[in-house]
Structure 1
Amino acid sequence: MPSMPPMQRISRRTFLGGGLTAAAVTVTGAPLLTACGSSGADTSAANLAVTLPTYKRYAGVAPDLPATDRVLAGFLRYPAHPVRAISEKPGDGKPISFLTNIPGAIPPAAGRNPFWQAVNERLGSPLTISMASNDDYPKKFATQVAGGDLPDLVNIPPTTVELPALLKAKCHDLTRYLSGDAVAKYPFLANIPTEYWKGCVFNGGIYGVPVPRGMSRTSLPLYRVDLLAAKGIKRPAPASFAEFLDLCKEVNDPKRHRWAWTKPPTDYVRQMLGIANNWAQHGGKFTSKYEQEANLEALEATRRMVAAGVVNPDAFSADASARKQWFNGGVAVFDLDSFVAWNQYYATNTAGDAFAVDMLDVPGYSGGQGKPWMGAALNNITAFAKSAKHSVETMLAVANWMAAPFGTEEYLFRKYGLAGRHYTLEGTDPVPTKTGVVETGIGLQYVCDADMALYWAGKPDVAKRQHAIQQTIAPRLLFDDSYGLYSETMSRKYAQLSAVLLDVENQIVQGRRPVSSWKDAVKSFLSQGGEQMRTELAKAHADAARR
C-alpha cells in the first residue's frame, strides 16, 4: 500500500457514526480519522495476499512511438478512423454523482454545457459533478466526508491521512470484481498496468480504481526552446552542475525582466547527486532522502544559484499558477515540472507559434549521469460509496468507459468533445476551440483514465521530444521504495514533518540559515516520526519478502 501523509486521529466511533467536523477531516497535514490499520485489518500480510488485476494491454490502436514498461506510447497524429470500442451505454439511467478537483476554471453547469449533456447521453445516466479547484479541493473533500453523505464516486487523493479507515467504513471492496482475471470483464481497466493497482489495496482488498501517472509525473527541467534559440543555444546538455550553473547564468537577463528559473531547482540538484526518491531500501533498511549526507551539497549548490540571481526573486512568495505564467510569458526560461505540465504549457501558450518546450536530462553533479526520480504512481484513486444506489458493476462500467485509451473514439470524445463546437480537425488532429477548453474541463479524467499518451495535436515534434527524453532517462530512474507499503506514522505525520523541512530548506537556499542547520532539522524529523516510519516500512517490506 502506498505511504501517505498525516492527520490528527479521532475516535473510530465518531468517524463511523458520521460525526466528524470539517476540521477533523483533511487531505494534507491536519487532523483526520482513526486508522482501521490500528485494528489489524490493514496489515501488510492481508494486503499482500490480494491478487491484483491481470494486465492485458489493449491492442486496438498501434502507437507511432512504442511504449515499454517505463516509456509511454507516442502518437504523431490522431488515428484517422478512431475505434468505437464500447457499444453499450455503461449507465443504468439513474443519476451518478461524483466529487472531484479540476485543474482549470469551473466550467458551465450541465444545463448550459453541451459537452456535459453529451456525456450524460453517452453514459446513459446523468452525471452530477461536485467540483473544486486544486487549491480548494482538500477543504471540499473534508467537508463532504465530515457530512457523512458521500457521492457515488469519490476522487480520493493518495495523501489522504489514515485512508484505510475511510475506505473500510464508507466504500465498496471491489476485490471479487477486479482481482486476477475477473478484471477482463472491464477491458480498459485491465489495460491499466498492474503496478498502479498496488496503490488501491487497503484492508486486504481492492478499494478503488486508479488514475495512473508514473512516468507522466516524472519531473525534470522544462525549458523554452524558443528563448534559448534566441540566445544561440540549441539542445543544451550540461555535463555537470558547474556547466548547468553556467547555462543558467547565460540565459539570465534580469534587466529584461527574465530569469533562468521559476523557483530554486533543489530536487533537480538532488537527482544530480543520486539522492533517494523519497525512501530508498537496501537490505531491508529504509533511508529517507532527507537524511542522506549529499543533501548538504545539494542545498549549498542551490544556495549558490539563488545568490547568483538566476532564480526569480519572487519565487518564494509566488504560488504555482504564478510560476506557470512566468514560464509561459517568458519571465523564466526553466521550470522543474512533468510531462503533464509540458502539455499544459502548450494548452495555455501565450507566446504564439514560436513557443516550444523541451526537457533537460540530469547529469551527475561532477560528471557522468544523474539519477532521475520516477513520478508518483497515482494522481488519485476513485472509490465507490457503499451508499450509492447503483450496482458495483454499473460503476465499474462507467470507470471502464472513462479509461478508454488514446486512439479510441471514446477517448476522442472524452478529451476533446463535439466536433465543430469543441474542436476542429486539422488533418486527423483535433484542435480544441476556446469553447472546447471551457466546456470540456469537467474532471472526467479523475474518475479513471488510461496511461498518458505522448501527443499534441498538430505538433508531432512534441511527442518525438517527449519520447526521446523518456527513452534516455528510463534506464536510470529511481523509484520510491515505500510505494505499495503502508506506514501509519507516515500517514499521520509525514506531511507536517516534511513541511517543516521544506521551510528550513527555503531559508537555507535564501541564505537566511547556514547549510549546517539542515542536520539538526533532520534529527528532529527522525525523532518526531521519521524513525518510526522507517521501522514500519521495514516491517511491511519484510512481510512482503516472506510471502
Structure 2
Amino acid sequence: MGDNQNGTLRLHRRGLFQASAAAAAAASLAACADLDEGPEGTAAGSDELADLLPTYTPYEGGLEPDLPGQPDGTVTPGYLSRPEAPEQVVTEPVMTTGEDITAITPLWNPTPPGLPGNSYFTAVNEILGGTVVFNIADGNNYVDKITTTLAGGDVPDMFQIPGWEIIKLSDFTEAANELFADLSPYLAGDKAAADYPLLASYPTAAWAMGVFGGKLLGIPWERSPYTNALFTRQDLLDGLGLGEHPKDLEELLALAEEVNDPSANRWAFASLDQTVQEAMGVPTLWKVEDGKLVHKFETEAFAAAIEYTRQVFDKGLVHPDYVADRSTNAKEIIGSGQGLFFEDGVGAWHEMYQTYRGVEGFDLQIVDPLAREAGGTPTIWRDDPAGMFTFIKKDLSEERIKECLRVANWCSAPYETLEYDLVSDGVEGVHFTVDAEGVPQRTELGQTEVAPTYMFLSGRANANNKFQYPGMVERLHEWETNAAAFLDPSPFQGLRVEMPSDLSAENEPMTEACHEIYRGQRDVSEWATIVDDWRAKVGDAAREYYTKIAEDNDRL
C-alpha cells in the first residue's frame, strides 16, 4: 500500500461533485483560481477528545512476543511462531438482524471470486451469522472509488477509507459528517470495553485520529509511525555481485549507475521521491527554526532533494513507466525484475512476497534509512497513530449500527486468536495448512479465494508476525529499532490536527510540480518560484493556523 496520489478533489456538502484530477494536476500554481472557502481545520490533544473516545482497555492474554516491542509503538512486537492452540475470543452472536452488510474495501492484489463461489467468504459469513457483501475496488485507484461514492451520497453500510486518500479530499470532513454515523454514543468511555472489548484495546491516540469535525466517525487501524521505506530486489543485486546496501545518497547513486542497464530491460529505480527527502532531512510537515514554524517546502533540504532526484531522472536511472506516470504500479516493475529499488509502505514487503511467490529466487529486502552523506543522519517521517478508517453509514438504525460495530470488533481480533486466523488465512485444512515448522501455508484454493477484505472492516493491534517469510520478522524488528532513533521530532506530536482544506487541496499540485521538475518539464530553478506562489496562496495562512495551534499547546 503505497502513496499513489492520483488527484486533489473537492467534495461539497449536499451537492457533492468530483473536480477534474487532470486539471488540478496540470494547472500552474500561479494561475490557479482561488479555492472555495472550506473547513478551517481543527486541532486537539487526546485528553481534549476524551469524552468522545473509548477508554483504553488492553487485551489480556495471548502470546508473549519473541522480540519485544516498544510501548510508544516505534518498534512492533515480533512473533517467530504461531500459537499451538489459537483461542476463540468472541463467543457472542455477531450478525443478528438477518440483513446483509454492504462494504467497500480496497485491494492491491488480484480480486478473488465473489459469492456464492468463494468458500472463504462463505465460511467467515457462517461464523458471523450473516452475509457481508463486498464491493472490492482497486487500491491503486481507490481515490476514484471514494470520490464517486461520496459524490453520489449512496455509501455502503461499512466503508474503508485510508488516511492517505483522505488528505486528497479537501472537504472530506464535511462529507463525512453528512454521510457517516457518530460512534461516540456507542463507544465513548467504558461503553466500548463493555460491548466491543477488542475495539477498546486500540490506543487512545489511534482513536483520536478517527475524529472528524468534532465527532468520532472512523474506526482506526493502528499503525507504526513509519510512512515508507526503500526496498530492493536482493536476489538481483546479489546476482550482479553488488549485494551490499548503500548507506547514504552518494553510495545509492553510485550503485544505481552500476546496476542500471536499459539494454537489458533493467533500471535502478521503479520509484523514487520520499526516500531522498528523508535522507536530506526534510521534516514530516513543519519544523521549528529560530522559534518559528518552517514548512517542509521551504527548507533547503527539500530543494536539495529535488535537485538530487532530478539528477537521478536525468541519468536515465528511473523506469520509463514511472517517469511518464508517477501513479504507475511500481510493484509490477519490481516483480518483473525491471527495477531494483522502489519505495512503498512497510506493509508492501510481505504483500510483495505473496504476490510474487511464483518468481524463482524472489528476495525482496528492506534498506536501512539512508543518510544525506557519510556520517550524517536522516529524518524519518513520523506517521499518524492510525492510517486507515472504517466508517459506518449514518442513516442506519441503532441496531444495525451496533451490528456493524460487532462485526468490526470481531474482525479486529489480535494475533494468536482463531478469529485472526480466519480473517487472515481462512479455514485450516481448506484454505491453509500448518507445515512442520508451524508456518501457515496457503492451499491452492486459499491462494485463489482468500484476500484482505474482512480485515479492512476494522483495525487490529500491530504485530510483526510474517514469519512464513524467513528472516522477515527479525529484519523488520531490526529496521524499526534503527529507524526509531531518527523519527522526526514533530512540534505537533500527540495532537489530532485536521489540515485546513485549502492547504490539503495544494498537496496534489505541489507533488505534481515536483514530478514535472524530475521529468525535465520544468527547471530545478523554478522550485523557488513555485514555493513563493504556494506561500502566497496558502502557505503563510497555514503557518498562522499551525502557529496558533503550537502556541495554544505550548509547542512554541
Q: Which is worse superposed, 290-299 or 530-539?
A: 530-539
CA distance in 1, matches of 2:472, 2:125: 33
Q: Report if aligned partners of 1:286, 1:538 keep a CA contact under 8 Å in 2.
A: yes
1:54-80 deviations in whole A, cap 9, x for unaligned?
A: 334434222222211211122222222
Q: What's the counterpart of residue 146 of structure 2?
A: 141
- State the shift of 1:301 in Å: 1.6
Q: 1:399 aligns with which of 408, 414, 418?
A: 408
Q: What's the counterpart of residue 384 of structure 1?
A: 392
The one-letter code sitting in structure 2 at the alignment partner of 1:54 is T
CA-based RMSD: 3.2
The one-letter code sitting in structure 1 at the alignment partner of 2:305 is A
Q: Is it true that 1:224 corresponds to 2:223 in the alignment?
A: no
Q: State the percentage of identical aligned residues.
A: 29
Q: Report if aligned partners of 1:25, 1:142 keep a CA contact under 8 Å in 2.
A: no
Q: 1:464 aligns with which of 470, 474, 477?
A: 474
SS state at 1:362 partner: coil
Q: Where do residues 346-495 of structure 1 align in structure 2 (5 Å cutoff)?
A: 346-349=353-356, 352=359, 354-368=361-375, 369-391=377-399, 392-427=401-436, 428-441=438-451, 443-478=453-488, 484-487=495-498, 489=500, 491-495=501-505
- State the shift of 1:347 in Å: 0.6
Any gaps of 5 or more consecutive residues in structure 2?
Answer: 26-34
Q: What's the counterpart of residue 509 of structure 1?
A: 518
Q: What's the counterpart of residue 65 of structure 2?
A: 63
SS state at 1:98 partner: strand
- State the shift of 1:534 in Å: 2.2
Q: Which is worse superposed, 407-416 or 162-171?
A: 162-171
- State the shift of 1:518 in Å: 0.3
Q: What's the counterpart of residue 211 of structure 1?
A: 221
Q: Is it true that 1:119 corresponds to 2:124 in the alignment?
A: yes
- State the shift of 1:520 in Å: 0.4
The one-letter code sitting in structure 2 at the alignment partner of 1:504 is A
Q: What's the counterpart of residue 337 of structure 2?
A: 330
The one-letter code sitting in structure 1 at the alignment partner of 2:251 is E
CA distance in 2, matches of 1:119, 1:127: 9
Any gaps of 5 or more consecutive residues in structure 1?
Answer: none
- State the shift of 1:46 in Å: 10
The one-letter code sitting in structure 2 at the alignment partner of 1:310 is L
The one-letter code sitting in structure 2 at the alignment partner of 1:348 is T
- State the shift of 1:330 in Å: 1.6
Q: Report if aligned partners of 1:299, 1:505 keep a CA contact under 8 Å in 2.
A: yes
Q: What's the counterpart of residue 54 of structure 1?
A: 55
- State the shift of 1:255 in Å: 3.0
Q: Which is worse superposed, 515-524 or 203-212?
A: 203-212
- State the shift of 1:385 in Å: 1.9
SS state at 1:248 partner: helix
- State the shift of 1:397 in Å: 1.8
Q: Tell me: CA distance 1:479–1:167, structure 2 relative to 1, closer, same or farther (3 Å).
A: farther
1:17-40 deviations in whole A, cap 9, x for unaligned?
A: xxx3553799x979xx999956xx
SS state at 2:176 partner: helix
Q: What's the counterpart of residue 172 of structure 1?
A: 181
Q: Tell me: CA distance 1:377–1:165, structure 2 relative to 1, closer, same or farther (3 Å).
A: same
Q: Is it true that 1:247 corresponds to 2:242 in the alignment?
A: no
CA distance in 2, matches of 1:56, 1:292: 41
CA distance in 2, matches of 1:285, 1:180: 37
Q: What's the counterpart of residue 32 of structure 2?
A: none
Q: Is it true that 1:518 corresponds to 2:520 in the alignment?
A: no
- State the shift of 1:415 in Å: 0.8
Q: Which is worse superposed, 67-76 or 204-213?
A: 204-213
TM-score, normalised with respect to structure 2: 0.85
Q: Where do residues 222-371 of structure 1 align in structure 2 (5 Å cutoff)?
A: 222-238=231-247, 240-263=248-271, 265-281=272-288, 285-318=292-325, 320=327, 322-349=329-356, 352=359, 354-368=361-375, 369-371=377-379
SS state at 1:294 partner: helix
SS state at 1:154 partner: strand
Q: 2:548 aligns with which of 536, 539, 547?
A: 539
SS state at 1:155 partner: strand
Q: What's the counterpart of residue 158 of structure 2?
A: 153
CA distance in 2, matches of 1:201, 1:442: 25
SS state at 1:272 partner: helix
SS state at 1:223 partner: strand
Q: Report if aligned partners of 1:45, 1:543 keep a CA contact under 8 Å in 2.
A: no
Q: 1:97 aligns with which of 81, 94, 102?
A: 102
Q: Tell me: CA distance 1:283–1:430, structure 2 relative to 1, closer, same or farther (3 Å).
A: farther
Q: Report if aligned partners of 1:291, 1:522 keep a CA contact under 8 Å in 2.
A: yes
Q: Report if aligned partners of 1:36, 1:168 keep a CA contact under 8 Å in 2.
A: no
Number of residues of Structure 1 aligned to a counterpart in Structure 2: 526
Q: Is it true that 1:498 corresponds to 2:503 in the alignment?
A: no
Q: Report if aligned partners of 1:224, 1:334 keep a CA contact under 8 Å in 2.
A: yes
Q: Tell me: CA distance 1:481–1:343, structure 2 relative to 1, closer, same or farther (3 Å).
A: farther
SS state at 2:430 partner: coil
Q: Report if aligned partners of 2:46, 2:204 keep a CA contact under 8 Å in 1.
A: no
CA distance in 2, matches of 1:471, 1:319: 31
Q: Report if aligned partners of 2:321, 2:328 keep a CA contact under 8 Å in 1.
A: no
Q: Tell me: CA distance 1:317–1:164, structure 2 relative to 1, closer, same or farther (3 Å).
A: same
- State the shift of 1:174 in Å: 2.0
Q: Tell me: CA distance 1:268–1:295, structure 2 relative to 1, closer, same or farther (3 Å).
A: same
Q: Report if aligned partners of 1:34, 1:165 keep a CA contact under 8 Å in 2.
A: no
CA distance in 1, matches of 2:384, 2:325: 24
1:248-276 deviations in whole A, cap 9, x for unaligned?
A: 2233233322121112x232222122111
The one-letter code sitting in structure 1 at the alignment partner of 2:18 is A
- State the shift of 1:222 in Å: 0.4
Q: Report if aligned partners of 1:172, 1:386 keep a CA contact under 8 Å in 2.
A: yes
1:63-106 deviations in whole A, cap 9, x for unaligned?
A: 22221121112222222211211112322242222222222333
CA distance in 2, matches of 1:143, 1:9: 10
SS state at 2:455 partner: helix
Q: Which is worse superposed, 293-302 or 154-163?
A: 154-163
Q: Tell me: CA distance 1:347–1:323, structure 2 relative to 1, closer, same or farther (3 Å).
A: same
CA distance in 2, matches of 1:405, 1:258: 41
SS state at 2:428 partner: coil
Q: Tell me: CA distance 1:508–1:164, structure 2 relative to 1, closer, same or farther (3 Å).
A: closer
Q: Tell me: CA distance 1:373–1:49, structure 2 relative to 1, closer, same or farther (3 Å).
A: closer
Q: Tell me: CA distance 1:342–1:199, structure 2 relative to 1, closer, same or farther (3 Å).
A: same
CA distance in 1, matches of 2:434, 2:269: 36
Q: Report if aligned partners of 1:75, 1:460 keep a CA contact under 8 Å in 2.
A: no
SS state at 2:324 partner: coil
